[in-house]
Structure 1
Amino acid sequence: MQLAIIVELGSVTKAARKLNVTQPTLSRTVKIIEDRAGGAVLRRGRYGVTATEIGERLATEGRAILRSTEQAQVAVQEWRNGLVGELRVGVGPMLAATVMGDFFVETVKAPPFYSLKLHCEVAARLVKRLKDDELDVAIIPYELDRQDDGLFREKILRERLSIFVGADDPLAWKTNVSPQDLSEYHWISVGAISGLFDMTRETLDWLGLTTVTPSIEISGDVTMTFRLLEKTNSCSMLPFRLAGAFQERFRVAPVGLNVELPSRNIGLWTKLASRDRPDVVDFIERLNAYLTKAVAQATVPR
């Protein structure tokens, strides 16, 4: 752990101050590690120290020890504050940028009996985290391109895909639009709505736009997509209700195609063995109550 801090700060002196030990004491620690490793773990240069190959490998282990120590300290503090355990929640980028922020605001105002640890990543990574026991629940698209033994999912929000353009675009708010009318647009592929495979590519093929290739692919952040739609001759496939939430911040609008796009319902995923845990049950009840209210109040302004 001490080696990891030295490598992180790039200085034995700075690490000694952070650890509240003397520099000679920390230097002796480095010497002990080097004796056991059979080689140098630090390179000393003009601007401080850096790790050798074995030094970096040992520092990686030290970082894991440091994280575990910090997590133990947090667990003790949470227990002292009356919290029973923690719930690790994964949220997709589109949801994080729209409805989930306000949901967690309400959760803070009426705190549960457990603490929350939030992670924001694309759906495929969150499912992997769930399977690796790094998450307890994940709020991501219900219809993912996979079958996962031991995972339980339930639909919590009905959603459909729509094509969005800038609000000043000639096709904005139009109905009965042919997919071919979009063939000359710059298509933006948004990874936040995908599962294992590129949903934009699959949908383009299904619409008969086999020669169209997305000119930009965006993973993670979704706000860049809306800025591009505002300012360029672009279009993007996005969840209708969730994207509608951005219309207060960005001037974007849906296009009404003469064919129906696939649904993209939102689901809550968890391990089957965890579904009946009191904290998971409480979280799902809170989320369902919030989404019921939010959907009842939601409008897509024109």
Structure 2
Amino acid sequence: MELRQLRHFVAVVECGNLSRASRKVHISQPALTRSIKALEGHLRARLLDRKPRGVVPTPTGDVFYQHAKLILNECSRAKDEILDVESGSVGQVNIGIGAMFSAAIIDQVVGRITEHHPTLHISITEGFFEDLVDQLRDGRIDAIFTNFPAAAAAVDLVLEPLWTVTAVILVSARHPLARKRKITAADLSDTKWVVVNQPHVADSLDQLFSKSGLALPTSTTRTNSLGLIKALVARQGFVSFLPEHLVSDELKRGELLILNLPQGRIERRAGLILRAGVHLRPAVNHVLTEIRKVCATGLGRS
């Protein structure tokens, strides 16, 4: 049984006449007759009755007509969906983002995708660099959007820088250091610190104090909760070291302040991490294009 035979049969039933049906499916009437006979032979059933004014389906033909219509409609839908998937307008895209890194950008990307590609499904996985790279390498996620630690360089990964993340030293507006005009590393060595529990943050903190010949602060709390870090800085007198864009709202409201220390600003490149040599599906490219657009316009930055 072939799809063209189903189309021929449906056309005959709907036209009620072999001549009109042959014109509808663009074949000769003898060829249409042979196609119907071949279909009946395959099913071992008579599907049409020839009447003086045309043809009508037999009871068996009525039943088969319903199935044939369903099959043809499903095939048409399947073709449309395949075209949509190939064009990237539908499908599942899995993106990894660095923990506490870029929600201010990703939320705009998701908003754009749902507006322009409403049938595209996005899964966002937040995590730390090593875990995300493992998921990228085994295909669980399609791309990573994060800052680039030193360990990001690898032969099987492609790094695409899109913007610069600036980490700054933060205190609450009520902190004693907020009133000092000149801040030194020594002023910070005796304070309570709360920092993100990631290796590159520990390295940055070590550089800050080692350049001034100072030991690391003895009171340092480490956590991966951005909410807790903000609360400890705002209400408990802690000092922290965070990407500026993560606290842009608090800075605008005057709740937190940046301490102007010469070595207290550290810039790190950030962007997309992809698997080298891997062909990206159109749907993935749609999402990556939106990430690039948002970064290019500076949206989400402080």
Both structures adopt the same fold (TM-score exceeding 0.5): yes
- Provide the residue aligned with 1:212 in structure 2: 217
CA contact (8 A) 1:189 1:214 kept: no
Q: Is the 8 A contact 2:168 2:259 kept in 1?
A: yes
Q: Could you tell me which amino acid in structure 1 is paired with residue 132 of structure 2?
A: L
Larger radius of gyration: 2
- Please say if residues 95 and 125 of structure 2, whose CA atoms lie closer than 8 Å, have aligned partners that are also in contact: yes
Q: Choose the corresponding residue for 1:182, options 175, 182, 188.
A: 188
Q: Please point out which of 163, 169, 176 is paired with 2:169.
A: 163
Residue identity matched to 1:266? A
Q: Are the equivalent residues in 2 in contact too, given 1:239–1:264 (CA < 8 A)?
A: no
Q: Secondary structure at the match of 1:135?
A: coil
Q: 2:269 matched to 1:265?
A: yes
Per-residue deviation, residues 252-294 of structure 1 (Å, max 9, x unmatched): 1211102253312222101012365433432222112112334
* 2:169 and 2:264 in contact (8 A); partners too: no
Distance 1:261 1:197, change over 3 A: closer
Partner of 1:122: 128
Structure 1 runs not aligned, ≥5 long: 1-75
1:103 aligns with one of 109, 123, 126: 109
Q: Percent identity?
A: 20
2:220 is aligned with 1:224: no
The whole-number CA distance in structure 1 between the counterparts of 2:199 and 2:265 is 16
**CA deviation after TM superposition for structure 1 residue 182, in Å:** 0.8
What pairs up with 1:234-245 in 2 under 5 angstroms?
Answer: 234-245=238-249
Q: Which runs of 5 or more residues in structure 2 are unaligned?
A: 1-77
Q: TM-score, normalised by structure 2?
A: 0.62
8 Å CA contact 2:185–2:209 kept in 1: the answer is no
Q: How large is the Cα RMSD of the aligned pairs?
A: 3.2
Task: State the distance in 2 between where 1:167 and 1:98 align.
Answer: 23
SS at match of 2:174: coil
1:22-171 map, 5 Å: 82-83=84-85, 84-111=90-117, 114-171=120-177
Aligned partner of residue 151 in structure 2, secondary structure: coil
CA contact (8 A) 1:274 1:280 kept: no
Q: In structure 2, the residue corresponding to 1:286 is in which secondary structure?
A: helix
Say yes or no: does 1:287 pair with 2:283. no
Q: Deviations over 1:77-135 (max 9, x none)?
A: xx599554322100123235433223322322222774212111122221222123221
Cα distance in 2 for partners of 1:168, 1:196 equals 29
The alignment of Structure 1 onto Structure 2 pairs a total of residues equal to 219
Q: How far is 1:186 from its partner? A: 0.8
Distance in 1 (CA, whole Å) between partners of 2:274 and 2:179 is: 38
Query: Of the candidates 256, 264, 274, which is equivalent to residue 252 of structure 1?
Result: 256
Change (3 A) 1:197 1:261: closer
Opposite residue 156 of structure 2, the aligned amino acid is: G
2-structure distance, mates of 1:94, 1:250? 21
**Contact (CA 8 Å) 1:160, 1:239: kept in 2 or not?**
yes
- Give yes or no for contact 2:208–2:264 (8 Å, CA) kept in 1: no
**Partners of 2:240 and 2:201 in 1: how far apart?**
16
Residue identity in the other structure for 1:265: R
Secondary structure of 1:95's aligned partner: coil
